């Protein structure tokens, strides 16, 4: 418990400092451009720089993208002290848009290593991948250690999906969670005063029991997102809705099981996926990736050095969930 209290205090301090730097950045960029190089440390570069991985024809190229970590647009680079090297949604979307518009790019090799994430963000990536396909480009996905829930959602539009035998994928479905500490508060004499404009304004409040009416409302939201997930698989994998719903009961599958069930096409690793895509694209394609020039000031190596992994995850959860419950295409252990 003492560790959790300490972790909470650290998280609060981090957020205060992060907000301060965000305000500094806002007032700096809202006026004339600052010549202070130190401020560049806290700003995200909009320029996408390329790095050639394999030489080849500049007019016949393959882009490599990595989608690693939780697919969520909160926290961003500026507010997550642990997110400097993690998933950055806005930047990832900019890369996809650049790929769509670049006529020299004929194929996309997308590496997915993610437990999933937000319904909104997953849908945004999915739709952008469809636009890339409509632009005449081939998409191959290579699944890493895990490509579950939202990780599978964004993989579904691919022309071909590869996974390792031991990849965890599936977890096809939607989850929405909240914590209720009403009984704990009552035990310690803590009371909450809630003034609301409507009966359901405090739905999913951690300070009151969920009613059947509350649950019915939230279930409709989950059901809508679930149906959207099912439709994505039906279209992406050319499967019947009945078959998809048989598979989409929330369970996870190994890569081997996913191939047997038609969710994945081939067993293979990243190099196998790239080799197959190069053959599909033909010629002598150049392979490149975008450099990640974003550096995070708030990577807190010192905090990570004295806090165990469980407390680091607790801090991340505190920060990422501070805006309240949300619908997730997410595999939860």
Averages of pLDDT over runs of 10 residues in the chain (333 residues) are 56 56 46 41 63 95 96 62 67 97 98 95 97 98 97 98 97 91 85 90 89 95 96 98 97 97 98 98 96 54 48 50 68 70
Torsion angles phi and psi, residue 27, rounded to 5: -70, -25
Closest to 172 (Cα-Cα) out of 110, 252, 237, 243: 252
- Three-class DSSP category at 277: helix
pLDDT of residue 189: 87
Tokens of 68: 């690693």
Q: How many beta carbons lie within 10 A of that of residue 251, not counting itself?
A: 11
Strand pairing category for 116-118 and 328-330: antiparallel
pLDDT of residue 326: 77
Just list the catalytic residues. Answer: 149, 201
The rounded distance, in Å, linking the Cα atoms of 181 and 172 is 29
What is the CA angle 81-83-87, rounded to 5? Answer: 165
Interacting residues of 107 by C-beta distance below 8 A, sequence separation 6+:
61, 62, 63, 137, 138, 139, 140, 277, 278, 280, 281, 285
Exposed / middle / buried, residue 2 (Cβ in 10 Å: 0-12, 13-18, 19+): exposed
What is the 8-class DSSP label of residue 175? Answer: B
Are the CB atoms for 257 and 272 separated by under 8 Å? Answer: no
């Amino acid at each position: 418990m003492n560790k959790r209290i300490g972790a909470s205090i650290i998280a609060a301090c981090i957020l205060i400092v992060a907000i301060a730097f965000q305000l500094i950045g806002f007032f700096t960029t809202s006026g004339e451009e600052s010549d202070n190089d130190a401020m560049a440390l806290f700003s995200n570069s909009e320029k996408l720089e390329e790095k050639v991985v394999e030489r080849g024809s500049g007019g016949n190229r393959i882009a490599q993208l990595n989608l690693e970590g939780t697919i969520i647009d909160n926290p961003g680079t500026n507010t997550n002290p642990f997110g400097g090297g993690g998933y950055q949604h806005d930047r990832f979307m900019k890369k996809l848009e650049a790929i769509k518009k670049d006529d020299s790019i004929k194929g996309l090799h997308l590496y997915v290593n993610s437990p999933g994430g937000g319904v909104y963000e997953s849908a945004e990536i999915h739709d952008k991948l469809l636009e890339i396909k409509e632009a005449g480009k081939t998409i191959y996905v290579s699944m890493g250690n895990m490509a579950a829930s939202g990780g599978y959602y964004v993989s579904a539009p691919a022309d071909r999906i590869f996974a390792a035998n031991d990849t965890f994928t599936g977890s096809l479905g939607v989850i929405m969670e909240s914590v209720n500490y009403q009984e704990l508060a009552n035990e310690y004499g803590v009371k909450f005063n809630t003034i609301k404009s409507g009966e359901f304004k405090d739905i999913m409040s951690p300070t009151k029991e969920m009613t059947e009416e509350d649950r019915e409302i939230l279930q409709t939201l989950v059901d809508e997102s679930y149906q959207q997930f099912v439709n994505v698989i039906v279209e992406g994998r050319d499967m019947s809705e009945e078959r998809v719903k048989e598979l989409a009961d929330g369970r996870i599958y190994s890569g081997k099981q996913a191939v047997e069930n038609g969710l994945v096409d081939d067993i293979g690793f990243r190099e196998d996926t790239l080799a197959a895509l190069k053959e599909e694209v033909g010629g002598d394609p150049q392979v490149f990736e975008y450099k990640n020039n974003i550096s995070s000031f708030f990577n807190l190596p010192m905090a990570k050095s004295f806090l165990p992994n469980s407390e680091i995850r607790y801090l991340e959860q505190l920060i990422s969930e501070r805006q309240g419950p949300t619908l997730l295409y997410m595999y939860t252990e």
